Amino acid sequence: MKLTEKNTLVYVMLAAFIVLLIPYLVRFLFYNNIMIGEESYYHANIAKQIIEQKSLIQDLNYFFNPYHLVLASIGYLIGIDL
């Protein structure tokens, strides 16, 4: 089979599709089906709640993470809407 320009384009598109699909497959198979960006939204939402309430969250299901305090402090100092 001769490698023509059309065949090369098909192979490049297929390789690009596979490379772009790998992160989603890894997260689906090994990280309990977490969508990309879901964790960062959670952290930003917790930091926003800390800024608005000016206290730590009192929910029983909340597991303390110092990253939330750091993110809330930076957001408060800089004035970024989280």
Residue 1: pLDDT above 70? Answer: no
Residue 33: pLDDT above 70? Answer: no
Q: pLDDT tier at 19 (50, 70, 90 boundaries)?
A: very high
Q: What's the pLDDT at 15?
A: 97
Q: What are the sequence ranges of the domains in the chain?
A: 1-36, 37-82
What tens digit of pLDDT does each residue of 36-69 get? 666 778 888 888 888 888 777 667 677 778 888 8
Residue 82: pLDDT above 60? Answer: no
Kindly give the residue spans of alpha helices, DSSP state H, lying in 1-82. Answer: 5-30, 38-53, 66-78
Side-chain-facing half-sphere of 39: CA atoms under 13 Å: 8
> How far is Cα 47 from Cα 64, in angstroms, rounded to an integer?
12
pTM of the model: 0.49
